[in-house]
Amino acid sequence: MSETAIASRCNESSTGVETYTVRIADWRNDSQVLHAVREAVFIREQGVPAELEWDEFDAGCIHLIARDAAQKGIGTARLFPHGVIGRMAVLKEWRGKGVGATLMHCLLEEAIKRQIQQVVLHAQAHAGGFYARFGFRAVGKQFMEAGIPHVRMVLRLAGRSVDQF
């Protein structure tokens, strides 16, 4: 398997009845699964144009993938080596079960491991509260990206451990 588990919490998580895993994915080998989740959430559900969803940066990013017990992809996120987080998505039927929080926890763990001092993201405005729970704070005014209102959010990681999130 091309994916690499990154931490005990990320190996296996449970919503109570449903089990899922979060692992680091390989863009080339796992791109079909990563594509399927992002296509369902961003392109079909949110109407983001396909030409904006796929960019040249994917190949250079660290990707996380959440899978259900049948190994179907249910969530994704990506981290640029310089600390930009993006493409955080959980399939609609899996939302509200902690998958997004586990993805974020694992991303922060990976960022801390790589000694990234600060992570930054463009949050869809409706999801700002999700990121704020991890300590991200909004910087600047709202702006439009892919036709959706966004806000830039930042989180300092320097000197912190993942247990603090």
Give residues in contact with ligand COA (CB under 6 A): 41, 88-90, 95-101, 123-124, 126-127, 129-130, 133
Question: In sequence order, which residues have a C-beta less than 8 Å from that of residue 99 and are 6 or more positions away?
Answer: 13, 15, 20, 22, 66, 74, 75, 90
Task: Select 6 or 74, whichever has its Cβ closest to ligand COA.
Answer: 74
User: From CA 57, how far away is CA 90, in angstroms rounded?
Assistant: 20
Task: Select 1 or 120, whichever has its Cβ closest to ligand COA.
Answer: 120
Task: Select 62 or 105, whichever has its Cβ closest to ligand COA.
Answer: 105
- CB environment 12-30: b (16+ within 10 A), e (fewer): ebeeeeeebbbbbbbeeeb
Task: Select 101 or 138, whichever has its Cβ closest to ligand COA.
Answer: 101
CB of 41 to ligand COA, least distance (A): 5
CB of 70 to ligand COA, least distance (A): 18
CB of 9 to ligand COA, least distance (A): 13
Amino acid at 115: Q
CB of 79 to ligand COA, least distance (A): 14
Among 72, 73, 127, which Cα is nearest to 96's? 127
120 near 154, Cβ under 8 Å?
Answer: yes
Nearest residue to ligand COA by CB is 100
Task: Select 122 or 160, whichever has its Cβ closest to ligand COA.
Answer: 122
Amino acid at 52: L
CB of 130 to ligand COA, least distance (A): 4
136 near 154, Cβ under 8 Å?
Answer: yes
